[in-house]
Structure 1
Amino acid sequence: MGGLREVAAPFVVPGPSGVTIRAGLKGLSGQDEKALCLVGDLLGSLASRDLKDRCAAGLDHDNDQWARRKRVLTEESSSRWAGSITKATHDQWALARRSQLARIQMLQAGVDMVRRRLSLPIGAKGSQGLPGGYRSQAEWFTKSRRLHLLEDRLKQERADYEAGRVRVAHGGKKLLRTRHHLEAAQLTEEQWRRQWQAERRFLQADGESGRRFGNETIRVTPDGEVTIKLPAQLAALANAPNGRYVLACRVGFRHRGEQWIDRITVNRAVAYRIHYDVGLDRWYLTASWQTPSVRIVTLEAARTAGLIGVDTNADHLAAWRLDAHGNPVGEPRRFDYDLTGEAPHRDAQVRHALIRLLHWAKRHGLSIAIENLDFTADNTREKHGRQKRFRRLVSGLPTAKLRSRLVSMAAELGITVVAVDPAYTSRWGAQHWKHPLTTETRKTTRHDTAAVAIGRRALGYPIRRRTAPPPQHQSDAVGHRTVQAASSVPGREEARPRIPGPRTRSVGAGCGAKAGDQCAHNRSGHAAEHELWQQDSLPFSL
């Protein structure tokens, strides 16, 4: 047990900091679509050029260069369009930097794993959750060559990161690479070109508090009228005063529509984005704004009435309700979802499973405990080797999507989410809870016991159950003999050592503290028998 890592303390997950809603632009005329395409293509070309300048600046970028970039863009569009473009390109560069750092960490984990396995004898078994040596000399030789490849990639990524170089594409690398594999993607060149142009268009504007309806560039009135401030080069397309273009359609937000109207009527900032979906042949308007930071519920308050432990799996959520003392209550619940098919179907499946879970928690007024999962280092091929099925299983777990959706949806219902360390929850849950929770009418699975372990860890209790005494000593004179490890006991999450002999507090013959004191025993010749003792007679009045 010396190889067990330290378990992190549970914490309450903060709620979302923003809101995004979307509505379709139905009833656009041909002139409207033409105007949107021209404006989007012009601003998209400016955004591509600005992204190139931002990437060329690298780590030497400062406020003076930012202002210089904005002045250049203002001459060809407007100051507000220029501000939105420079902010979007800077955010894209920062995202590429974070992805580059994650790539370096993944390569470093792969290099360390290969080096460790190469240092072990061929056929050596693994220990403490780590794989052993390679199974054959041929595999060892192949992995030694792969080690040099990973080291070269790691060296190149580190050099780019230290120099501030990023490799990004306005429109997305994935779609750019699809151009070379049109047959595999089942696309024609014309279809790919339409998608590429749609992704490279730029039609998004940041909100401004104090301005009319919260946005001067893309303005949406409470009755749904959408007007766009045209760039200087396309001022001839204006059909409204002050170089503005008014769309023929009206827009309305069904989800959070009242909140959106409340914001724009008091001129609070709302950011808008107009984009075209090539597959559905529809235009959409997306509105987003920041929400004020709310007071986070304390961990003690979230534990008051107990909570629901949730175990995340590849095809379902396993949940079990626990009371405030860490005892399972009722029956386990299972919320299934199917992650096969296209992305909209997978997203809907995850959303529906979370809705059922949250409604169950809302009915009982309980918080939700979930694992703070991160499989970045566990889904690498260097750790699991030829176990492709297991790697696909781990990679298929929608941990990031589940976590983000659960937090945002729970915040709307006023449900607190507690994140716990996922270390050993499945193993210890099955070890300590599978047998006692299995009955003739209920077959408890490993995932159900993992949910119990997650809930107990969120409540601050150890996963190990209390040690029950033998039946003949459960309620005798010495009292109930179950013990619970305190929070200050080292290794309380570990397996209890096997103590030989009967597990009772009664002292065996000749083993007590007064085993050699004859005066402490009731036998012939004892000093207590030499004293005069006489029972008093009962009174006749009774």
Structure 2
Amino acid sequence: MGGLRELAAPFVAVGPSGVAVRDRLKHLTEQDETVLRLVGDHLGTVASRDLKARCAVGLDHDAEGWAARKRAVTGVSSSRWAGSITKATHDQWALARRGQLAHIQQLEAGVRMIAHRLSLPVGEKGSKHAPGGYASGREWHAKARRLHVLTDRLQAVRADWEAGVVRVVRGGKRLLNTRHHLKAARLTEEQWRTRWQAERRFLQADGESGKRFGNETIRVTPDGEISLRLPAPLVHLANAPHGRYVLASRVRFAHRGEQRADRIHTNRAVAYRIHEDTTRGRWYLTASWTNPVVQTVPLAAVRAGGVVGVDTNADHLAAWRLDTHGNPLGAPRRFGYDLTGSAAHRDAQVRHALIRLLHWASRHHLALAVEDLDFTRETTREKHGRRKRFRKLVSGMPVARLRARLVSMAAALGIPVVAVDPAYTSRWGTQHWQQPLTSTNRKTTRHDAAAVAIGRRALGHPVRRRTAPPPHDRSDRAGHRTVQAPPGDLGREGPRPRVPGPRTRSVRAGRGAKAGDQDTQHRSGRPAEHESWQQDSLPLSL
């Protein structure tokens, strides 16, 4: 047991800090689409130039430089568009820096693991915690070359990090690389160009509290009318006063529409983004806003009604309901999903599985207990050696997507989520719960047993089941009957409750002279006599 790491305490997960809803822009005229494309292309060009200027400054950026960039952008657009463009540029640069740091950590993990395996003799077997040496001299030589490649790459990325150099592509690097593989992507050059231009457009505006309907740049009225402020070079296209253009389409936001209506009626900030889906030939409007900080529910209150332990797997969620004492109730549940196919299909499968799980927990008014999984660190393939099946299993688990979706969807339904340390849940759950919960009518899997272990850890109980009863003698020298009773619970060392009915022929139950005196009954931790007593040492002559 000395090799086990210390477990982190469970905590209640914090809900999402923002909300985003989307609605389709229907019944747009040809003039509307033309104006949107012209405005988006113009502002996209301005945003690209501003991003180039920001990346050239690097770590020397300051408030004066930001103000200078904003003045330059204002001259070719407007003050409000300039504020949105410069803020989006700053956020994109910061995101690139975080991705650069994550890339450095991944390269360091790969270099460290390959160097470790190269230092071991060829053919040496590994353990559960660390892989062994490489299987053959040929593989050892190939990995030695791979180590030099990763080391050079790591030095280059570190140099960029220290100099503040980032490489950002407006429109996305993936779509840019698709240009060289049009046949594999089943796209023509014209289709790719249309998608590329749509991704590089800039039609988004941050909200402003205190302004009319929460946004002066892209304004959406309570009845769904959409109007946007045209930049200075395109103000001649306006069809409304003050250089504004009103679209023929109306929106209503069926999802969270009441929340958005409450915000715009009180003139609180709402950000909007207009974008075109070139594949479907549709236009969409996305509204987003931030939620106020909400005090999380205390952990003791969450545990009061029991929890649902959830074990995350590559193709399903295993769940089991537990009461406040950590005892499994009913039968286990399984919520499956299929992660093959397109990204939209995979996301729909995850959402469908989560909504069924949340509705089941909501019917019983229970909280959810999940593992605080994080597979983003040390995802190098060298960590698991030749265990290809296990590598595929780990990489196929949608950990980040499940975690983000679960927390946000649970917050919308008012269901608390308790995150626990994932260490040893599968191993201890299988050891202590799989066999006792298996019967002739029910086969308990190790995933179901892991769900029980997760739920017990969230409730503050140890994973192990009750201990075996003590021997049938007067002294409880094998310990107490349960490991669930805290030391301060009444009844652990107190008098036993009176049992109705006779216990012996001479004295009735609970009527003895010393029925409540634990000191005279050889209870563990209790002296048999009231005065101190010490055994004499045995004489050496015997």
TM-score using structure 2 length: 0.87
Structure 1 residue 120 displacement after superposition: 1.5
Give deviations 1:430-459, integer Å, cap 9, x for gaps.
Answer: 112111111111111111111111111111
Q: Which residue matches 1:140?
A: 140
Q: Partners of 2:94 and 2:109 in 1: how far apart?
A: 23
Q: Which residue matches 1:300?
A: 300
Structure 1 residue 460 displacement after superposition: 1.6
Structure 1 residue 395 displacement after superposition: 1.4
1:324-339 aligned at under 5 Å gives the runs 324-339=324-339
Structure 1 residue 382 displacement after superposition: 1.2
Give deviations 1:216-237, integer Å, cap 9, x for gaps.
Answer: 0000111111001000000110
The answer to whether the aligner puts 1:3 opposite 2:3 as a matched pair is yes
Q: Which residue matches 2:400?
A: 400
Structure 1 residue 5 displacement after superposition: 2.1
Once the two structures are overlaid, the 10-residue window that deviates more, 452-461 or 36-45, is 452-461
Give deviations 1:337-382, integer Å, cap 9, x for gaps.
Answer: 1111112211111111111111111111111111111112353211
Q: Which residue matches 1:119?
A: 119
Structure 1 residue 4 displacement after superposition: 2.3
SS of residue in 2 equivalent to 1:276: strand
Structure 1 residue 334 displacement after superposition: 0.4
Q: Partners of 2:162 and 2:6 in 1: how far apart?
A: 32
Q: Which residue matches 1:482?
A: 481
Q: Partners of 1:93 and 1:487 in 2: how far apart?
A: 52
Q: Partners of 2:119 and 2:459 in 1: how far apart?
A: 42
* Contact kept? 1:113, 1:382, Cα under 8 Å: yes
Q: Which residue matches 2:439?
A: 439
Q: Which residue matches 2:229?
A: 229
Q: Partners of 2:3 and 2:218 in 1: how far apart?
A: 58
Number of equivalenced pairs = 491
1:90-489 aligned at under 5 Å gives the runs 90-377=90-377, 379-469=379-469, 473=471, 477-478=474-475, 481-484=480-483
Give deviations 1:378-407, integer Å, cap 9, x for gaps.
Answer: 532111233333322211211111111111
SS of residue in 2 equivalent to 1:403: helix
Q: Which residue matches 1:510?
A: none
Q: Which residue matches 2:41?
A: 41
Structure 1 residue 6 displacement after superposition: 2.0
Give deviations 1:83-140, integer Å, cap 9, x for gaps.
Answer: 0000001101111111111111111111111111111222222224211111111111
* Contact kept? 1:309, 1:319, Cα under 8 Å: yes
Structure 1 residue 482 displacement after superposition: 2.8
Structure 1 residue 424 displacement after superposition: 1.5
Q: Partners of 2:91 and 2:138 in 1: how far apart?
A: 46
Q: Partners of 1:53 and 1:5 in 2: how far apart?
A: 48
Q: Partners of 1:370 and 1:172 in 2: how far apart?
A: 33
SS of residue in 2 equivalent to 1:27: coil
Match of 1:390, as an amino acid? F
Q: Deviating runs (4+, > 4 A) in structure 1? A: 475-481, 485-488, 513-517
Distance 1:187 1:515, change over 3 A: farther
Distance 1:515 1:362, change over 3 A: farther
Q: Partners of 2:355 and 2:306 in 1: how far apart?
A: 20
Match of 1:157, as an amino acid? V
Identity over aligned residues, as a percent?
A: 71
Q: Partners of 1:37 and 1:403 in 2: how far apart?
A: 36
Once the two structures are overlaid, the 10-residue window that deviates more, 93-102 or 376-385, is 376-385
Q: Partners of 1:379 and 1:465 in 2: how far apart?
A: 34
Q: Partners of 1:44 and 1:203 in 2: how far apart?
A: 8
* Contact kept? 2:107, 2:154, Cα under 8 Å: yes
Q: Partners of 2:475 and 2:460 in 1: how far apart?
A: 29
Give deviations 1:156-199, integer Å, cap 9, x for gaps.
Answer: 11111111111110000000011111111111111110110000
Ranges in structure 2 where 5+ consecutive residues have no aligned partner: 488-523, 525-533
Structure 1 residue 272 displacement after superposition: 0.3
Distance 1:485 1:261, change over 3 A: closer
Q: Which residue matches 1:30?
A: 30
Structure 1 residue 477 displacement after superposition: 4.7
The answer to whether the aligner puts 1:87 opposite 2:87 as a matched pair is yes
SS of residue in 2 equivalent to 1:330: strand
Structure 1 residue 11 displacement after superposition: 1.0
Once the two structures are overlaid, the 10-residue window that deviates more, 225-234 or 440-449, is 440-449
* Contact kept? 1:3, 1:128, Cα under 8 Å: no
SS of residue in 2 equivalent to 1:272: strand
Q: Partners of 2:423 and 2:113 in 1: how far apart?
A: 20
* Contact kept? 1:320, 1:451, Cα under 8 Å: yes
SS of residue in 2 equivalent to 1:386: coil
Match of 2:87, as an amino acid? K
